[in-house]
Structure 1
């Protein structure tokens, strides 16, 4: 069995996620569904998401709509109470070096650092924001992680990055030496939050009830530490309505 809630599972947050999983596990088992004792923190996320043993996982919106829709059960999304986003939705902050002048349109010919081309927050969201401003990012630097994108901009190996707003909140707390060298020049349009998913054999309604019950039972200190304000049952149509951008066309080699 697999339970994978890895998207915001930073080292200093792991004990809080473990405590939340205790409540989730008990609520899931109370509904007649077998669940593992502990979270799975080894192996590939794609292997987790596509496994027939997945009891509860957390994906990203873009992988869900491009590859996982129809192959997994969609449960809903946690609400992190992010500003300028509806409950259960999220957006990205657009960050540049603190000494860089200008607004988004001034970065049309600059290098975008992105974590992965299947990332909603790091690739799809900034391309949508660029399209709204009348251009497309054509120069890009693949970093592999939001934290690496932050470092790339702070070290001037890239000019701009789009960072999931919850990740930015975590980074400001735990990576002040990096975030202190950056400034936010805007935010992207909100999109449905990171989807909680399960293997298709599971009943998503029963799992959604379990999540709601677990959050009601969890200690306020745990929910506060994880910035969790609730849970929203977001329909698949909302995820599928988000545009899919073209893949990167001109990666700049990492320094």
Structure 2
């Protein structure tokens, strides 16, 4: 079998995507059997469930909603970004730089943007943050689904929405790679933290190969410090599935407050 590999989550620009691909190539160079890097596409749920998937990165929300039964955890990256603490991360609440909001509470009746229904950083922690403020399950005047964190940022900048939550790692990369976009928004808060986006493998990958991948991750990280700095990578943690139950806990806390969905 020829395995496949792809890193779909933090490619905020083509230039940064190329650096991620180079790093992934180095990770795979010492791992057997053969593996080819494929370009991520819109069918990520199908890709994450492929039997020939050697390594990819997923969001913790789909991981805890059906994906965990079909994959293995390899490692969780530790990023050097504001809002990260080891393998934990949070999302930043942003509004337009000239908007009249200084906190999430100020955004009552405003318009919210989020990336995807199954995003922990763009939807789940946003819902958790809003839940204590909502009245009868409603807080915003309108909800806009944008399809991506970049889309949410642009919706805020273009006055199509007033507030969004952005994965803090994504936002750090936007500050690095797209400073003109970052300068047009202002941070007004931070969400609760949860485990970061894990690297996963198909359940069919042998345990010895998983161990080899873990070793290769660290070798590729140490081989080029400047590249690691560009990717904001500090290291990796071996988190068990039970740690990701924090994501379900945040969801359940919002539901318990009568706020099952962004509204």
Shorter-chain TM-score: which interval? 0.7 to 0.9
Q: Which residue of 1 aligns with 2:98?
A: 99
- Per the normalisation by structure 2, the TM-score is 0.85
Q: Which residue of 2 aligns with 1:185?
A: 188
Q: Which residue of 1 aligns with 2:66?
A: 67
Note the C-alpha offset of 1:229: 0.4
After TM superposition, the structure 1 = structure 2 runs for residues 17-36 of structure 1, keeping only pairs within 5 Å, are: 17-29=20-32, 34-36=33-35
- Give the distance between the partners of 2:9 and 2:208, measured in 1 at CA: 22
After TM superposition, the structure 1 = structure 2 runs for residues 53-202 of structure 1, keeping only pairs within 5 Å, are: 53-101=52-100, 102-133=102-133, 137-138=139-140, 139-202=142-205
Contact 1:122 1:162 in 2 (8 A): yes
Secondary structure at the residue paired with 2:9?
coil
Greater displacement, 120-129 / 204-213: 204-213
- Give the distance between the partners of 1:184 and 1:71, measured in 2 at CA: 37
Aligned with residue 245 of structure 2, among 228, 240, 243: 240
Q: Which residue of 2 aligns with 1:252?
A: none
Greater displacement, 218-227 / 204-213: 204-213
1:155-200 deviation digits (Å, cap 9, x = unpaired): 1111100001111111123323322221001111111000111111
Secondary structure at the residue paired with 1:2?
strand
Contact 2:83 2:168 in 1 (8 A): no
Greater displacement, 203-212 / 230-239: 203-212
Secondary structure at the residue paired with 2:81?
coil
- Give the distance between the partners of 2:86 and 2:173, measured in 1 at CA: 19
Note the C-alpha offset of 1:89: 1.5
Contact 1:152 1:158 in 2 (8 A): yes
Is structure 2 residue 232 aligned with structure 1 residue 227?
yes
Contact 1:93 1:163 in 2 (8 A): yes
Note the C-alpha offset of 1:103: 1.1
RMSD of the TM alignment (CA)? 2.1
- Give the distance between the partners of 1:208 and 1:222, measured in 2 at CA: 23
Contact 1:2 1:40 in 2 (8 A): no
Count of paired positions: 245
**Displaced runs of 4 or more, over 6 A:** none
Contact 2:195 2:246 in 1 (8 A): no
Contact 1:98 1:183 in 2 (8 A): yes
Q: Which residue of 1 aligns with 2:257?
A: none
Greater displacement, 60-69 / 84-93: 84-93
1:35-81 deviation digits (Å, cap 9, x = unpaired): 42434444621121011111111000101011201121122211112
Gapped regions of structure 1 (runs ≥ 5): 250-255
Note the C-alpha offset of 1:206: 4.3
Contact 1:208 1:233 in 2 (8 A): no
Gapped regions of structure 2 (runs ≥ 5): 255-259
Contact 1:97 1:182 in 2 (8 A): yes
Task: Return closer, same or farther for 1:211/1:16 CA change in 2, 3 Å cut-off.
Answer: farther
- Give the distance between the partners of 2:94 and 2:208, measured in 1 at CA: 38
Q: Which residue of 2 aligns with 1:3?
A: 5
- Give the distance between the partners of 2:112 and 2:207, measured in 1 at CA: 37
